[in-house]
A and B are shown apart, each in its own frame.
Chain A
Amino acid sequence: MPFTPSKPSPARLLPRPAPEARWRPGLATQPFHSEIFAPAAEASGAGLALALARDALTSSDPSSGEGEDTRQVLWVQDRGAIRQGGRPCLAGLPPDLRHRVIHVAAATPEDALFALEEGLRCRDLACVIGEIAGNPKALSFTASRRLSLMAERHGVRLWLVRLNAAPDLSSARMRWSVRAAPSPPPRWNPAAPGTASWHAELFRARTHAPGQWSLSDDAGTLRFARDPDTERPGESAAAPDPVSVARPTVGRSLAARARA
């Protein structure tokens, strides 16, 4: 066979500024393979995976500014993940992802890994989100290494949610452990649950120091959550309502005129 120089992976081709020691949302360089460990009795894993994916797609892709991203998102679940955590609900997905989710229900973890790898190989996908329950034998270090190499080779990002799993050996570039956190009270009904908030711990990363954060999904943007206990009541008393019904009172509104 003739010697063909292998194509350099997009992970090497992309501009790479000096890595920041401390992780924060909106970094330009995002890893291609991340793992998120989450309990199966809550949707915090999938929620954080979606939030991180949207964060990475908006902040690291230079083409995202011009025009809407119409690439599909592949969401792979194995049978255990479906049984314990359910399937994605269309009406609950972020509005910009609602029409471009392709769901794969794999019977076994092997099939789920196959689907993940095929998805990473596809150039027309925005990202791949996987959910695998437990620590199956198929998801060994070799399998995760395959996923890492495939993702970095083709430049498709993968967030793999591990439900009820012990953090075993893996070659994921960033490994998160997440659980749900009390949400900030909405502005109009403090007794109601607020926007999605998580307590996320980055316990293994290649370019960042480990750390813990309270993160919240603020209308599609991943932000550091303000601690509801230490927050002073004077400034911006509460987080806005999760479903931004409240329109700012401008124009011909009587309330705006009365206040002026």
Chain B
Amino acid sequence: MLLADARALCPDLVAVPADPAGDLAALEKLALWAQRWGPWSAMDPPDGLLVDVTGAAHLFGGEERLLADVMRAFAKAGLAVRPALAPTAGAAWALSHYGPQRAILAPGDDPLRLLGDLPVAALRLDDDVLTALRRLGIKRLGELAGVSGTGDDPAAEAAARDALRRRFRNHRSPAANPLLRLDQLLGRVPEPLLPVVDCPMPMVQRRLMEPLRHRDLLDRVMADLSQDMVRTLEARGEGARRLELALWRVDGEVLVRRIELAAATREADHITRLFVARLDDVEAGFGIEMVQLRASWSEPLGLAQADLDAAAETHGTALAACIDRLSVRLGPQAVTRPVARASHIPERAQGWQPPLDPVPPAQGQLAFHARPLKLLDRAEPIAVLYASPDGVPQGFRWRGEVREVARVEGPERIAPEWWRERSTARLRDYYRIEDEAGRRYWIYRQGILGDGRGGVPDWFLHGLYA
């Protein structure tokens, strides 16, 4: 009927524009409020609420008294309500919409006995499906259950279900498939519901023992409140976009200051500075007795890394921390300290140990031993030109380059360590040499001719002088 027709019939008609969004918001608030009867509630738009009261009825003295409490509470709010209680959401919906007042379906009852007489519209079906069912001659839930074969004979039941499923095989959504709805009502298939979850806005407040009348005290309270607010926001992982400061005066007046922020913020100093600029025109009157700060709009803001490295950036790291960082990345073998070992053999006279371990005591070095600055890991063989096999080298070839020896000092004979090595180990004659370009090397001849431990001795380059 159009509004004009209705007004023609009844001129006193009061027309109120529909507000579906407002209704939905009110229903949402109502769903949150209805969580007083159970821990979990869901909306059933446009005008229903589902509350899970599993295990909660005894708190109200039983299921009948719970429903009476629901009736009383809604009547106090000025709302008419038809409550019903059933093991499944579908059964409760059917009972509340089409069943008797304050119907209760106990878990032990046969649902079809109580629900069998309800019309098929109690299944929350779409209109065209209801039309199809009416044309099929199915008007009651019991009839649908009979067709679908919820009877005694399993074979007949399977055949009837199969027929009904084939009839509605293209209807996937529960609201278009009566078989699915019936199974949901009987609790054979699960029915997921979307709960309404309350998220309270972050709020901090200070009740003051003495009313504030001076500005500097108010600033102090403001700074405290911002720090509390920052802590609250940090616990939720959020940052404030809009903040409201409410000041209750002694005479009951409430002053509200509101700021909006360009980006989600969680910085106490920033918030304080912004509010302090807005507090200049506050009339304290006889004093302010309560200050409240709310973040009415907040957005997720990830926790930022605290300046863990800032101290290291500004003051540098300690030696132990530096060694730790190095050895974690490069491995403990890579970070070492050279220490002297008791040996004459050059490569054995030096060991490597962890850098911060105490250095073992060692004998002093002989001052006339001029050792090279760098020692090769493995002495490299060189081809040497010499006047006599156990004489001073004249030139040598190393790494593909021939070098003329300009100056030489030696030999410094280092005998093998007989207590450690086999008897065939040969002695070494070390020479410090300098070639014509000034490059200084430490070379040795392994063995001497005729020592009975091998043939013509080989020459090696072992170290580089600075």
With a cutoff of 8 Å between Cβ atoms, the chain A residues found around residue B322 in the complex are 118-119, 121-122, 124-125
Known pairs A104-B334, A124-B319; A91 contacts B365 (CB<8 A)? yes
User: Nearest-CB distance from A145 to chain B (Å)?
Assistant: 17
Q: Are A43 and B464 in contact (CB under 8 A)?
A: yes
With a cutoff of 8 Å between Cβ atoms, the chain B residues found around residue A87 in the complex are 338, 374-375, 377
User: Nearest-CB distance from B254 to chain A (Å)?
Assistant: 33
A179 at the interface (CB under 8 A from B): yes
Q: Which of A85, A86, A123, A191 contacts B409 (CB 8 A)?
A: A191
A130 at the interface (CB under 8 A from B): no
With a cutoff of 8 Å between Cβ atoms, the chain B residues found around residue A89 in the complex are 338, 346, 350, 371-375, 463
**Secondary structure at chain A's binding surface: helix, strand, loop or mixed?**
mixed
B396 at the interface (CB under 8 A from A): no
Give the residue among B377, B438, B463 with the most A Cβ atoms within 10 A: B438
Q: Are A92 and B372 in contact (CB under 8 A)?
A: yes
Known pairs A87-B377, A105-B336; A122 contacts B317 (CB<8 A)? yes
A217 at the interface (CB under 8 A from B): yes
Q: Which of B269, B398, B409 contacts A192 (CB 8 A)?
A: B409
Determine the distance from Cα of A19 to Cα of B67 in the docked complex, in whole angstroms. 94
B337 at the interface (CB under 8 A from A): yes
B167 at the interface (CB under 8 A from A): no
With a cutoff of 8 Å between Cβ atoms, the chain B residues found around residue A111 in the complex are 329-330, 334
Q: Which of A42, A101, A115 contacts B464 (CB 8 A)?
A: A42
**Secondary structure at chain B's binding surface: helix, strand, loop or mixed?**
mixed
Instruction: Mark each residue of chain B from 429 to 446: 1 if its CB lies under 8 Å from any CB of chain A, else 0.
Output: 000111011111000000
Q: Are A118 and B365 in contact (CB under 8 A)?
A: no
User: Nearest-CB distance from B117 to chain A (Å)?
Assistant: 69
Q: Which of A92, A114, A119, A154 contacts B374 (CB 8 A)?
A: A92
Interface size class of A (residues with CB under 8 A): 35 or more
Q: Are B373 and A181 in contact (CB under 8 A)?
A: no
Q: Which residue of chain B has the shortest Cβ distance to A99 in the bound complex?
A: B359
Determine the distance from Cα of A197 to Cα of B409 in the docked complex, in whole angstroms. 17
A127 at the interface (CB under 8 A from B): no
Chain B stretch 437-466: residues in CB contact (< 8 A) with chain A: 437-440, 463-466
Q: Are A101 and B330 in contact (CB under 8 A)?
A: no
B203 at the interface (CB under 8 A from A): no
Determine the distance from Cα of A196 to Cα of B316 in the docked complex, in whole angstroms. 35
Determine the distance from Cα of A51 to Cα of B401 in the docked complex, in whole angstroms. 28
User: Nearest-CB distance from B177 to chain A (Å)?
Assistant: 56
A189 at the interface (CB under 8 A from B): yes
With a cutoff of 8 Å between Cβ atoms, the chain A residues found around residue B316 in the complex are 121-124, 154, 156
Instruction: Mark each residue of chain A from 91 to 128: 1 if its CB lies under 8 Å from any CB of chain B, else 0.
Output: 11100000101111111000100110011011111000
List, sorted by A's number, 18 A–B pairs whose CB atoms are closer than 8 Å.
A47-B373, A86-B376, A86-B377, A89-B346, A89-B375, A90-B349, A91-B365, A99-B359, A101-B338, A102-B335, A122-B318, A123-B317, A124-B319, A125-B319, A156-B316, A193-B408, A196-B373, A242-B370
Q: B residues engaging A (CB < 8 A)?
A: 267, 269, 304, 312-319, 321-323, 325-326, 329-330, 333-340, 346, 349-350, 352, 355, 359, 365, 367-377, 398-399, 401, 406-409, 432-434, 436-440, 463-466
User: A-B pairs with the 5 shortest C-beta distances?
Assistant: A47-B466, A123-B316, A192-B409, A122-B322, A43-B464
